[in-house]
Amino acid sequence: MTSGQTAAELARVRADFPLLARTVRDGRPLVYLDSGATSQKPTVVLDAEREFYERHNAAVHRGAHQLAEEATEAFEGARETVARFLGADAGEVVFTKNGTEGLNLLAYGFSNASAPGALAGADEAWAQRLRLGPGDEIVVTEMEHHANLVPWQELCRRTGASLRWIGVTDEGYLTDPAEVIGERTKVVALTHVSNVLGTLNDLSPQSPVITAARAAGALVIVDACQSAPHLDITHLTAADSGVDALVFTGHKTLGPSGVGVLWARRGLLEALPPFLTGGSMIEIVRMEGSTWAPPPAKFEAGVPMAAQAVGLAAALEYLMDLGLDRAHAHDQELARHTLELLEQRPWVRVLGPGLDALADRVGCVAFVVDGAHPHDVGQVLDDSGIAVRTGHHCAWPLHRRLRVPASTRASFAIYTTHEEIDAFATALDRVPQIFGLGESA
């Protein structure tokens, strides 16, 4: 791994993010440690969206006039950029509203596969993997964001399949997947990085979860929303990866809100029935029935979010120009510094892998202060201009497993500084003072 950014490089990066210069709470400098919820946007992203609207705005894939041609070229160019970011083919990249919609697209596609004639003409090997019913099983993990849990719960309800899950240890790791994944498993859906624990799950081709899924012939679907801003994830789309589909979202990856990405193997996209229907995704329409366009258009009904896709492409170009290896190194430095400071505060209990397992952690540090509710901790930090996330972070079952009602989470991005982590720790020292928990460190 290369080293992270120098002070001068980091200063140049921060200058690209206008919002970071503002003040909050009566003139206090903003310390933004909530990038795991949504990242800030560099000027190149804001400019890309504005330029699209000012110079090229038209309905994509519609019209023969010049603006329509320019808009379509920009939109499809954005798809090419996403494909390069993923190390994939552009024909396997579907634009969605966000990661949640991408996961729902897959779940509803499985559900629609049971309709009469839905898989007519589909490759039988893929069709067989899409058919779900009583006796079949879908496997998730106990650390999933609700977006990668609730759609599969609902799919089980609609199809009669059963939901099973891989547990989480007290240290924040998955238990043995082979104890859950078996011959009845049709789908394994799991996060690459936990949005609470920061745990980086091993998804290499030789990993226990991929090995077990392959042995079962199950489809593997990955939530990469928390890993895409921090890591090179091209290994997940490699031909031998064992991963069949993944999603990530623009607003966590320096890009705009309202745009996300679903990547899936071409054979899966060709066989999967569509989730939304209407204009743009059709091939032939007659009053008696319709046929679908080839993927990815098959899954992009209606006028797409062209400006947002262009903005996302600018964000991914920005990350690639910076270097995802350097982004990861910077993230590791920030995590180390945060964990070291919290370790000095015995009244703080960190969730997930500790300093001795830093390589297993990405993007965030969540913690609890016994005797103070996380919402109160967040309010104390906010009074000092420190923006963090409090609550169950859309991972309610995980918090129940860890036997805590909620947690406070500090999450990082390429623009986060060591000085901001210091300011966070200093502000955190007010918590035991305010709530009478003993002397601060």
- Which pLDDT score, from 0 to 100, does residue 2 have? 47
Model confidence band, residue 378 (pLDDT cutoffs 50, 70, 90): very high
Per-residue pLDDT tens over the stretch 24-55: 999 999 999 999 999 999 999 999 999 999 99
Per-residue pLDDT tens over the stretch 174-192: 999 999 999 999 999 999 9
Nearest-10 Cα torsion for 397, 406, 382, 30? -40
Please determine, for residue 62, whether its predicted confidence score (pLDDT) is greater than 90. Answer: no
Mean pLDDT of 159-181: 98
pLDDT averaged over the chain? 96
- Which pLDDT score, from 0 to 100, does residue 207 have? 98
Handedness of CA 32, 197, 9, 81 (dihedral sign): negative
CA distance 325 to 318: 13
Handedness of CA 66, 68, 71, 72 (dihedral sign): negative
Mean pLDDT of 319-339: 97
Please determine, for residue 439, whether its predicted confidence score (pLDDT) is greater than 70. Answer: no
Specify the 3-state DSSP secondary structure of 265: coil
What pairs with residue 260 in β-bridges?
A: 96, 249
Q: In what order do the strands lie in the sheet with 162-166?
A: 93-96, 260-264, 245-249, 219-223, 185-191, 137-141, 162-166
Model confidence band, residue 438 (pLDDT cutoffs 50, 70, 90): low
CA distance 32 to 19: 10
Return the half-sphere exposure (C-beta side, CA atoms, 13 A cut-off) of residue 291. Answer: 8
Give the active site residue among 156, 225, 364, 394. Answer: 394
Mean pLDDT of 369-397: 97
* DSSP strand pairing (219-223 vs 245-249): parallel
Please determine, for residue 60, whether its predicted confidence score (pLDDT) is greater than 80. Answer: yes
Please determine, for residue 204, whether its predicted confidence score (pLDDT) is greater than 80. Answer: yes
Mean pLDDT of 302-308: 96
More confident residue, 437 or 71: 71
- Which pLDDT score, from 0 to 100, does residue 18 have? 97
Distances from the Cα of 305 to the Cα of 50, 109, 297, 311, angstroms? 14, 21, 13, 10
Mean pLDDT of 396-414: 97
Can you say how many angstroms the Cα of residue 157 is from the centroid of all Cα atoms in its chain? 25
Mean pLDDT of 335-350: 97
Mean pLDDT of 311-316: 98
Instruction: Give all domains of the chain, ordered by start, each with its CATH number.
Output: 7-32+323-435 (3.90.1150.10), 48-320 (3.40.640.10)
Please determine, for residue 441, whether its predicted confidence score (pLDDT) is greater than 80. Answer: no
To the nearest 10 degrees (0 to 180), the angle between helices 418-428 and 324-343 is 30
Among 439, 411, 267, 280, residue whose Cα is nearest residue 344? 439
- Which pLDDT score, from 0 to 100, does residue 156 have? 98
Mean pLDDT of 310-322: 98
Amino acid at 372: A
Q: What's the pTM value of the predicted model, to 2 decimals?
A: 0.96
225 catalytic residue (yes or no): no
Please determine, for residue 376, whether its predicted confidence score (pLDDT) is greater than 60. Answer: yes
Mean pLDDT of 134-154: 98
Please determine, for residue 440, whether its predicted confidence score (pLDDT) is greater than 60. Answer: no
Please determine, for residue 253, whether its predicted confidence score (pLDDT) is greater than 70. Answer: yes
To the nearest 10 degrees (0 to 180), the angle between helices 66-86 and 306-322 is 40
